[in-house]
Amino acid sequence: MSEIRLYISTTEKRAEIALSLMSDAFEDEGYAIATMEIDEKNDIWEASVYMFREDEAAIHDRFAALLAGDFPEAVIQREVLPDIDWIAKSLEGLKPVRAGRFIVHGSHDRGTARPGEIAIEIDAGQAFGTGHHGTTAGCLEVIFNVMRSRRVKRVLDLGTGSGVLAIAARKLAPVRVLATDIDPIATRVARENVRINGIASGVTLETAPGFHSTAFRRHGPFDLIIANILARPLMRMAPQLAAQLAPGGGDVILSGILASQRWKVLAAYNGAGLRHVSTIWRNGWVTIHLDNRR
């Protein structure tokens, strides 16, 4: 099924306002996802909403109505996203990525792990997470640091995409991982990657937006929560996410955050009772580690 992106081009501040309107309006609808993107070279920000083609007419009207008040000048632009397996294509030319003790590679690079490295094979699929993005690599690094120093039994990977982070945690230790994604294509791709990596048990995959599934009650509370989503939804879900953490002491890894957004995200999580442990930077993106220990 092809996907459509409707978007407006504006400044960073205005894109944030638009995104907040859109996130509230489309919050509980898995088929319409609001995001913010930057064309760094030209400093142009885009507030976008992604949807399947069959939903376009309805979403377009709602998008236009939302913008009418604060953005009367906005011109809604449209992009048809190619219905191709673009990750499979791009993987052909991608080199393995190393982060922490992990090496993430495609099937064409099997056998490149050095002694002591943990290999994760991520293959074709229309889901995010090959290890090459600064946010994924940042999460892998912090997962490794947390799991080598803490006793972790239950992990939540919120927004699992290709499943790369869930697979990393499961390969590092005998943990139980709940991996969820709002997008059914992502959970399908993640399931295949779990299989390719020879993981027979310990990873449960669910298609669910946010925390509304019964799986959370069955699997939580969690010693480690990883959420590589985007700053705005992360801020909005701070109290719910903090409530999923094991009260005896748990760790949270957040990513999908631009360097300029880190203070706001930190403020939201401090407000939810979490403490900053560390922040790492990769290619303009930050990954934040917090915990609920005193």
Ligand X SMILES: C[S@@+](CC[C@H](N)C(=O)[O-])C[C@H]1O[C@@H](n2cnc3c(N)ncnc32)[C@H](O)[C@@H]1O
User: Which spans of this chain sit near ligand X (rule: CB under 6 A)?
Assistant: 127-129, 135-136, 139, 158-161, 164-165, 180-183, 186, 209-210, 228-229, 233, 256
**Closer by beta carbon to ligand X, 74 or else 143:** 143
CA 26 vs. chain centroid, Å, equals: 18
User: Residue 136 Cβ, how far from ligand X at the closest point, in Å?
Assistant: 3
- Token digits for 129? 């997470």
Residue 202: closest CA among 238, 236, 175: 175
The DSSP secondary structure of 117-128, one letter per residue, reads: -EEEE--S-SSS
Report d(CA 8, CA 15) in Å as an integer.
8
On whether 116 is known to bind a ligand per the annotation, the reply is: no
On whether 279 is known to bind a ligand per the annotation, the reply is: no
Report d(CA 34, CA 23) in Å as an integer.
6
Tokens 């996130």 sit at which residue? 23
**Closer by beta carbon to ligand X, 96 or else 161:** 161
CB distance 181 to 165 below 8 Å: no
User: Residue 59 Cβ, how far from ligand X at the closest point, in Å?
Assistant: 17
**Closer by beta carbon to ligand X, 74 or else 268:** 268
Report d(CA 40, CA 37) in Å as an integer.
9
User: Residue 161 Cβ, how far from ligand X at the closest point, in Å?
Assistant: 3
Residue 143: closest CA among 231, 228, 261, 262: 228
On whether 83 is known to bind a ligand per the annotation, the reply is: no
- Token digits for 221? 């509370």
**Closer by beta carbon to ligand X, 66 or else 189:** 189
User: Residue 165 Cβ, how far from ligand X at the closest point, in Å?
Assistant: 5
Which residues is 36 bridged to in the sheet? 47
**Closer by beta carbon to ligand X, 18 or else 139:** 139
What are the distances in angstroms from CA 120 to CA 98, 170, 181, 198, 232?
10, 11, 20, 10, 29
Report d(CA 48, CA 37) in Å as an integer.
8
**Closer by beta carbon to ligand X, 128 or else 144:** 128
User: Residue 148 Cβ, how far from ligand X at the closest point, in Å?
Assistant: 19
On whether 30 is known to bind a ligand per the annotation, the reply is: no
User: Residue 18 Cβ, how far from ligand X at the closest point, in Å?
Assistant: 17
Known binding positions: 136, 159, 181, 228
Known binding positions for S-adenosyl-L-methionine: 136, 159, 181, 228
